[in-house]
Copies of this chain bind each other. A is one copy, B any other.
Amino acid sequence: MTGSTRGVTVWFTGLSGAGKTTISTALARELRMRGHKVEVLDGDVVRQNLTKDLGFSQADRDENIRRIGFVAHLLSRNGVVVLVAAISPYRASRDQVREQIQDFLEVYVNAPLEVCEKRDVKGLYASVRGGTITGFTGIDDPYEAPLRPEVECCTDVESVDQSVRKVVNALVQRRYLNLTITT
Contact = CB atoms under 8 A, between A and B. Distances in A.
A58 interface: no
Interface string A35-63: 00101000000000110011000000001
Contacts of A3: none
Interface string A6-41: 000000000000000000000000000000010100
Contacts of A37: 78-79
Nearest to A7: B78
Interface stretch (A67-75, A90-98, A157-165, A174-182): A67-75
A87 B79 CA distance: 29
A49 B50 CA distance: 11
A168 interface: no
A71 to B, nearest CB: 6
A68 to B, nearest CB: 10
Contact of A78 (B49, B54, B80): B80
A94 B173 CA distance: 44
B79 A50 contact: no
Contacts of A54: 53
Interface of A: 37, 39, 49-50, 53-54, 63, 66-67, 70-71, 74-75, 78-80
7 contacts: A39-B74, A39-B78, A50-B50, A53-B63, A71-B74, A75-B78, A78-B78
